[in-house]
Chain A
Amino acid sequence: KNEVEQSPQNLTAQEGEFITINCSYSVGISALHWLQQHPGGGIVSLFMLSSGKKKHGRLIATINIQEKHSSLHITASHPRDSAVYICAPRVDSNYQLIWGAGTKLIIKP
């Protein structure tokens, strides 16, 4: 069983749609990262959160530690948001990241 599950694996939407990507995990964590991987391969850290909600521009990340679940939302999606979004919880015991398989998002104009 995977320690981190992301859904959906693939998501295609029209420009302007509200996007939600979900992440569930089974281990004890101290924080959770959401990362964006561009088509060229580079990885950018979007958020690190350990409780509640964070917002940056059109991106919102939420986490419920008790339910071991986090979501990433994109409002007013745009084709430039097309990328793979990866959830990576940080394990409580050794501070290492465990990586989700990613959600491939395509936003069509």
Chain B
Amino acid sequence: EPEVTQTPSHQVTQMGQEVILRCVPISNHLYFYWYRQILGQKVEFLVSFYNNEISEKSEIFDDQFSVERPDGSNFTLKIRSTKLEDSAMYFCASNRETAYGYTFGSGTRLTVV
């Protein structure tokens, strides 16, 4: 069964450093999403992406965050200058149409120290 692949599975970074989280969505999917889950809390929506542009973003997704689909297969989330409170599990998801179900990646656990 097709999978959404996320790398790395765990990243530790120093506060203030830039990080790039990578996702390879399912190849025929058109809609892409990033979510995050702070330990012990609910999953939160960050951003959705369609047709090479952001279609929706939450209040969390401020100027420190950006997304890109640089080569037609990867979908990346960049955090420019990480803060301690960015420590969370970050999930990528994709679907073919918004009316369809989502496929989630297994997540990247980001730890900012």
A42 near B98 with CB under 8 A, answer no
Collect the chain B residues with CB atoms within 8 Å of residue A19's CB. none
> Counting CB contacts under 8 A, is A45 at the interface?
yes
> Total contacts A to B, CB within 8 angstroms?
43
What's the Cα separation between A97 and B37 when bound, in Å? 14
A42 near B107 with CB under 8 A, answer yes
Known: A31-B99, A41-B89, A45-B102. A100 touches B56 (CB 8 A): no
B-side interface size class: 10 to 19
> Counting CB contacts under 8 A, is B32 at the interface?
no
B99 near A42 with CB under 8 A, answer no
Minimum CB–CB distance for A85 against chain B, Å: 13
Binding site for A on B (CB under 8 A): 37, 42-45, 48, 56, 89, 91, 98-104, 106-107, 109
The 5 closest A-B CB pairs, nearest first, are: A95-B98, A42-B106, A48-B101, A43-B104, A99-B43
